[in-house]
Structure 1
Amino acid sequence: MISAPLHHARLKVVCIGFWADYEDYFWTKADTTRFNVEVVNVKQQARRQLIFKVLPRFCRKYVYERILTDHIARHPDALFIVNEREEIVDYLHRTRPKASVAVVVRNPIATKNGMGPLLRDLHAAGYPVLSFDQADCERYGFEFYRQFIAAVDGVRAVNPVYDFAFLGKDKGRKDLIETLSNQLTQKGFSTSIRFTEVKKPHKTPTERLGKKPVNKPYPAYLAENLAARCIIDIVQDGQKGLTLRPLEAALYGRKLLTNNQSVRDEDFYHPDNVFILGEHSNRPQGLEGIEDFCKAPFVEISPQIMALYSVDALIDQITGLLKTTSSLER
């Protein structure tokens, strides 16, 4: 692995992966005076090739690998930021490219079968592997990074019409969220709950072969979530890392109702803005004190604090890790 590139001009950063649309957007909001960011969505590029549509699924990874190889060859001095998609991790594990590559893990490792050992091998080989989940960092020895976000133009004008809202996939959270919604309704609050994809233990053949639901574009998702004064955030079992919802709440001036105890350790945390389930109760999911919480005004979070959760901060962290790794190798 080569050392991190040293530039007096803007640093070329190639963010190459299977990115969600909001991740695509966030990367492009890096400081253009410091970084020249190119976002490559591997699957979108692959679909532009005519052969991709007729290839069997198991052969498509070779198209993905060609895209990765071509971009690494095209930008030998760039910083490459990738996500933990199986095809990318397997490619890096086999080829060990002589480039500045960092893996930014976007999901808990528990949701990625067999990915932990491969990522640990890459980390041991000198490629930075960063996770937003402290539990995964402790288990695998990865570097911790703060979840990142960038503001979307136009959504700040959305006026709240509900007290509480949740919009997202089931991920095993449906029962708890619906129970919370019922309890909040009984207390006189209005709620808007919508699941974009419901988890089923057994799918019919038609459901397995059918197309997956198409996610709303991120600005539309945000507008629907911000139509509430308080965003509901329920993490998956065992997850310590932040979802985007706490950052969205902090950035756009909404309160947060969450079961994630680790939010209390974040720089943007303020007790008037964040209600942690069970915090004022003997019951893990207790809502005692929610009425007073909702009456208190939102405490604005400073731009300096929100900058800690920016793309710029993450790129700076990665370049620092690469310089440290290079010094140790020398």
Structure 2
Amino acid sequence: MDKSKLIIFGDNWDVYLTAYKDLIDDPRITYIPSFRPKGLLGQLQRLQYNPKVNHIVSLPYKHLWTPYYLRHEKGEKYCFLIMEHWLRYESGLRLLPYLRKTYPKGKIVCFIQDLIETVKDQYTGKQIDVKYIKHYTDLLISFDEADAIKHEACYHPTVFSQQAKVNQSTKYDLYFLGRDKGRLKMLLAIAQEAKIRNISCKFVMLEVPQKDRIEFEGIVYSDKDVSYQENLAMAAESRCIIELLQQKASSPTFRTWEAIAQNRKLMTNNQNIKASPFYDKNYISVFHDELDLDWTFIKNRNIYTESNPYQERISPIRLVEFMEEKLGIKIDHT
């Protein structure tokens, strides 16, 4: 069976660049991180695609940019993997009908790695049109099991590439990074109890207004974003990562993958993770609130001394194999 070339319409968000690194580095796969060309062309497109301008007057010919992204491709057998970043601009870009018409033998897959109701069209302000997407795609995938059922899509979790082996020594016991979103109160209570128990914390809170900040040992406030590589470095220096879900997500998140990839333990309020094939009580502890934490779990020695056995199962190669199985094709990759 002839193999299809995989072209990924991805994202230049540093989280995705880390998660998909195994595919990005594969010379047989093309990863397009952004629809924005470099240089003068990019500035011209920025104006034409500007949502604020297009809310006033819809600028024509935005779809004429689409062939630009595939200008170097001369084959016929392709599999296109499109992420939600591109779908946010689809009503102007019109990538899906272009691919279907230009590459009739190709396969089109959309992988939405956010709750669908939160993915908004940049021009209409409305939720992306799932019916429209299904019309042009061979496979629609959601990262969330409940969302997949709701929208009659296939489910596959997000992925995470193999990370460089980290030093097993730690600087602190508990690590959290994120915006407040109502979580500061719980984190403060955890930090207070942790101090009593001689457990060290590093809770990095982003963009918390000065008037809302509560100073306490182990809580750090940052007025600027922390790069994903900085986040991974701090996670690697911790014994245990804390995850506090705020949305209605029902499936494992990147915090789970970070714990697996960095061979760290995870404490999460995601009750649904117990039904996940990635759940293992040896490295995941589930709690309801700050009164429900298993403090012994934090201090106990990590049973996985070298690497977490689930690392291979979250590889982006598993996503490629899933697409091959669902589409009945073979994809060219190393």
- Where 1:36 maps in the other structure, the secondary structure is coil
Correspondence for 2:316: 311
Q: Which residue of 1 aligns with 2:83?
A: 83
Superposition deviation, residue 43 in structure 1 = 4.8
Aligned match of 1:187 = 197
Aligned to 1:182, the other structure's residue is in SS state helix
Aligned counterpart, 1:97:
99
Task: Verify the 8 A CA contact 2:82 2:110 in the aligned structure 1.
Answer: yes
Question: In the TM superposition, what is the alpha-carbon distance from 1:164 to its structure 2 partner?
Answer: 0.4
Q: Cα 1:219–1:47, aligned 2, differ >3 Å: closer, same or farther?
A: same
In structure 1, the gaps of 5 or more residues are 1-5, 201-212, 279-283, 325-330
Count of residues paired in the alignment: 297
Aligned to 2:163: 152
Query: What one-letter code is carried by the residue in structure 1 that aligns with 2:84?
Result: E
Instruction: Confirm or deny: 8 A CA contact 1:165 1:228 kept in the other structure.
Output: yes
Distance in 1, matches of 2:254 and 2:187, equals 17
Structure 2: stretches of 5+ with no match in the other structure: 101-105, 211-222, 330-334
Helix, strand or coil for the counterpart of 1:104? Answer: strand
CA shift in 2, pair 1:162/1:65, >3 Å: farther
Measure, in 1, the Cα distance between the counterparts of 2:191 and 2:64: 48
Task: Tell me the SS of whatever aligns to 2:37.
Answer: helix
Secondary structure of 1:256's counterpart equals strand
- Displacement of 1:100 after TM fit? 2.0
- Aligned to 1:192, what secondary structure does the other structure show? strand
Aligned match of 2:282: 272
TM-score by length of 1: 0.75
Cα offset, 1:276, TM superposition = 0.4
CA separation in 2, counterparts of 1:248 and 1:103? 24
Residue 303 of structure 2 is matched in structure 1 by: 299
Give the root-mean-square deviation of aligned CA atoms: 3.4
CA distance in 1, matches of 2:67, 2:281: 48
The percentage of aligned residue pairs carrying the same residue is 17
> 1:38 and 2:30 equivalent?
yes
Matched, 1:24 2:17: yes
Q: Counterpart in 2 of 1:166?
A: 176
Letter in 2 for 1:254: R
Q: Say whether the 8 Å CA contact 1:14–1:81 is kept in structure 2.
A: yes
Bigger Cα displacement from structure 2, 249-258 vs 52-61:
52-61
Between Structure 1 and Structure 2, which shows a larger proportion of helix residues?
Answer: 1
Quote the residue 1:106 is aligned against.
113
CA distance in 1, matches of 2:35, 2:226: 18
For the 8 Å contact 2:108–2:137, the answer to whether it is kept is: no
Q: Deviations over 1:37-88 (max 9, x none)?
A: 2221215535662424655723699897555433346534222211113444
AA at the equivalent of 1:95:
P
Cα 1:142–1:272 change in 2 (3 A) is same
Paired residues of 2:141 and 2:153 also in contact (CA < 8 A): yes
Q: Deviations over 1:199-251 (max 9, x none)?
A: 99xxxxxxxxxxxx764443222001222100001112311122111111122
The letter of the residue matching 2:97 is T
Once the two structures are TM-superposed, the CA of residue 14 in structure 1 deviates from its matched residue by: 1.6
Residue matched to 1:70: 68
Residue-by-residue CA offset, 1:120-154 (whole Å, 9 max, x unaligned): 4322544312111111111111111022101233x
2:187 aligned counterpart, secondary structure = helix
Q: In the alignment, which residue of structure 1 is the partner of 2:270?
A: 260
The verdict on how the C-alpha distance between 1:293 and 1:36 changes in structure 2, with shifts beyond 3 A counting, is same
**Bigger Cα displacement from structure 2, 55-64 vs 167-176:** 55-64
Match of 1:127 among 138, 141, 148: 138
Residues 63 and 94, structure 2, Cα contact 8 Å, conserved in 1 = no
Distance in 2 (CA, whole Å) between partners of 1:83 and 1:47 is 24
CA separation in 2, counterparts of 1:64 and 1:173? 41
* Partner in structure 2 of residue 7 of structure 1: 2
| TM-score, with length taken from structure 2 | 0.75
